[in-house]
Amino acid sequence: MAEDDISEVRKRVRDRWSQFGNEEPKRVKSSRQLNQEEIIDLTSEAEETDIENATEQLSAGATDNETKESEGSPYPKARGSFKREEALDTPSFKIVKSNLYETTGASQEKFTDFTEIFSSADLCRCWLFSFQYELDYILTMFDPRVKLTIVAQKGTILPLSVMTPKLKSLISNMKTLLIDMPPFTCHHSKLIINEYKDGGVRIYIPSNNFTSAETNLPQQVVWSSPLLPRESQARKSMSHFRDSLLQYLSTYDCDLSDLNETITKTNFTKIEEYGLKFIYSSPRPAKKLFDDSGTGFRLLCNELQDFRHVKDPSNKDNQLHHYFCQVSTIGAPLTAGSSPPGNLLTHLMIPFLSGLLPAVELQTKKRTNQLLDWDRLAELYKLQGIKPYILYPTEKEIRNCTLGYMASGWFHYHRARNECARKVYEKLKSSGFFFKQRQERHTSRNTTPSHTKFYAKFTTNSQNSESFNCPDWVLFTTANLSLHAWGTATRKPKNYEVGVLMTSSENRQLVIKNPIHSLKGNGLDETASTKKTLSILLPYILPPEKFDDQDDCFCISKSYSQPDALGNRHVPSQ
């Protein structure tokens, strides 16, 4: 995109946020202070390093809700009544439209916004699960007759600042279910379940919480299920996805009986046709247990056991196995016994998912008292053709992206917090495991960081090949790379998280799409081999670029002297 187009985007952001009183802020402590509010931040992590007793410490900010004027408000209003998106009869991904980056002519094929999800004329009930709610932002999108239920952690809802007759009517039908969470843990799930007047249901998993700044500044994606019809009275269909979702809902200590009834009466055949799995984390045991696959990391390992490719760690594998991870937060290092500290992806997730560590430990819940040391891990990775990829924004990418440090407030990697964190970071970097976005300025977003969380595996045959077109499996989730989000093989997670797992098979293939690809045929395509094809839209281009010597992961707790493209300087957040 031309520089004058990017300048126009920067002008729009100034116009938008200047309504809050800071026309041209010159120091950016956090992009969450744009409207001089501190939305509660429990996403930065400083975990203790014991692999079995890790506790993620999340920095909590105060909530200060300033009164906003109803006139000239930057919050979206419902744009009339939308018809339900009947075309979305397959699982699909769309990039969340930003009021700052996109114009009104943005492609409906690739983009969506929450007014389209919440303002359907056919919507009668909606359940929202999230970590943060800005009611001024989201409630104006709903028809006042919709029965709305909000599930939230205590202290994470910014209340309305202005009441209107329409909002008063909506709130009279609204139910708020508050979750008690221990200190430094969070209800991090992001889930929308819409029920329509004909009994149909659609499920959405967005990557963002329900606040205006988080929706508009970093890149976001939303996954949508097909429209799921009401179950036939004559016969109930079998659904592993539905069972897992109901099991997740049963871990809540609040009344979700109406949602449970709705899900039970919904036919999930359209989801089962694609072999999709609902992957969740919960700190509480399930009251409704369909199977004992576990939660968090254990559940993921059990669902992917057929993709374990290491049969004998001493035998060379002639293929390359690429393990890709893109998150917005990287937790503290792992330690166990006398082992050197390690990383959750490289030392726990990949060893179990690949088969380097035996699956019997998942079944017996045997404790992992030792981590593979770095030298042994490098030897096994080379022997088995395993290549880890951690896509994380660099300081330079954030500084030079369209909105600079304003987009940085959701990216937490305290890599310089202590000596242990510094050592693990340097080891990951020197091993060549860190990657950045491809430098193709195809849109006004350029290198704007993505708040999404994707985990994926790709297999290639050539030693020089890095094809990222058709993955073996992809997980789109709310879970960051942290012990609180995932737990371990023997220990439950401490957060609530949700995600959808997509896998390839003899009859089904996954295809990666990016913002410059056409999405024609997104969803169900019949190829020459009669395989079903499921397209997965990412907000960046794969394969990514490896860090060079000058690159470093952005560290929100580090001070940077260079101003960004808007002239702002970053002030560290502890």
Which of 240, 275, 310 terminates a domain? The answer is 275
Answer yes or no: is 349 within a domain. Answer: yes
Q: Clarify whether residues 433 and 517 are in a common domain.
A: yes
Answer yes or no: is 285 within a domain. Answer: no
Please report, in tens digits, the pLDDT of each residue of the chain (574 residues total). 445 555 555 555 445 444 433 333 344 444 444 433 333 444 444 443 343 333 232 223 333 332 233 333 445 554 444 455 544 578 899 999 998 888 665 667 789 999 999 999 999 999 999 999 999 999 999 999 999 999 999 999 999 999 999 999 999 999 999 999 998 899 999 999 999 999 999 999 999 999 999 999 999 999 999 999 998 765 577 999 999 999 999 999 999 999 999 999 999 999 999 999 999 999 999 987 777 778 999 999 999 999 999 987 777 767 899 999 999 999 999 987 657 899 999 999 999 999 998 865 555 555 556 788 899 999 999 999 999 999 999 999 999 999 999 999 999 999 988 999 999 999 999 999 999 998 765 567 889 999 999 999 999 987 656 678 999 999 999 999 999 999 998 889 999 999 999 999 999 999 999 877 654 544 434 444 578 899 999 999 999 999 999 999 999 999 898 999 899 999 887 6
User: Domain with 418 in it: what CATH number?
Assistant: 3.30.870.10
Q: Clarify whether residues 99 and 220 are in a common domain.
A: yes
Query: Of the listed 188, 240, 414, 484, which one is catalytic?
Result: 188
Residue 302, by phi and psi: left (phi above 0), alpha (psi -120 to 50) or beta? alpha
Q: Clarify whether residues 137 and 253 are in a common domain.
A: yes
Q: How is residue 404 annotated by DSSP?
A: G
Q: Clarify whether residues 138 and 174 are in a common domain.
A: yes
Answer yes or no: is 426 within a domain. Answer: yes
How many structural domains compose the chain? 2
Q: Clarify whether residues 249 and 343 are in a common domain.
A: no
- Residue 419 tokens, joined: 């000596």
Q: Clarify whether residues 266 and 377 are in a common domain.
A: no
Answer yes or no: is 529 within a domain. Answer: yes
CA 530 to chain centre: 31
Determine contact, residues 156/132, Cβ cutoff 8 Å.
yes
Q: Clarify whether residues 245 and 384 are in a common domain.
A: no
Question: Is 277 labelled a binding residue?
Answer: no
Answer yes or no: is 280 within a domain. Answer: no
Determine contact, residues 345/324, Cβ cutoff 8 Å.
no
Nearest of 25, 495, 9 to residue 251 by alpha carbon: 495
Distance CA 452, CA 331 (A): 16
Answer yes or no: is 170 within a domain. Answer: yes
Q: Clarify whether residues 220 and 357 are in a common domain.
A: no
Answer yes or no: is 71 within a domain. Answer: yes
Which residues form the domain of 256? Answer: 3-275
Q: Clarify whether residues 424 and 335 are in a common domain.
A: yes
Sheet of 221-224, strands arranged across: 111-112, 92-96, 221-224, 201-206, 191-196, 123-129, 147-153, 175-179
Q: Clarify whether residues 10 and 104 are in a common domain.
A: yes
Answer yes or no: is 84 within a domain. Answer: yes
Quick check: bond before 515 cis, omega within 30? no
* DSSP E strand stretches across 56-200: 92-96, 111-112, 123-129, 133-134, 147-153, 157-158, 175-179, 191-196
Nearest of 462, 548, 514 to residue 93 by alpha carbon: 514
Question: Is 453 labelled a binding residue?
Answer: yes
Annotation says 451 is catalytic: yes
Cα Rg of the chain, angstroms: 23
Q: Clarify whether residues 322 and 269 are in a common domain.
A: no
Query: Of the listed 187, 321, 322, 451, which one is catalytic?
Result: 451
Q: Is 0.85 topped by the overall pTM?
A: yes
Annotation says 188 is catalytic: yes
546 Cβ contact partners less than 8 Å away, ≥ 6 residues apart: 432, 434, 435, 436
Q: Clarify whether residues 165 and 254 are in a common domain.
A: yes
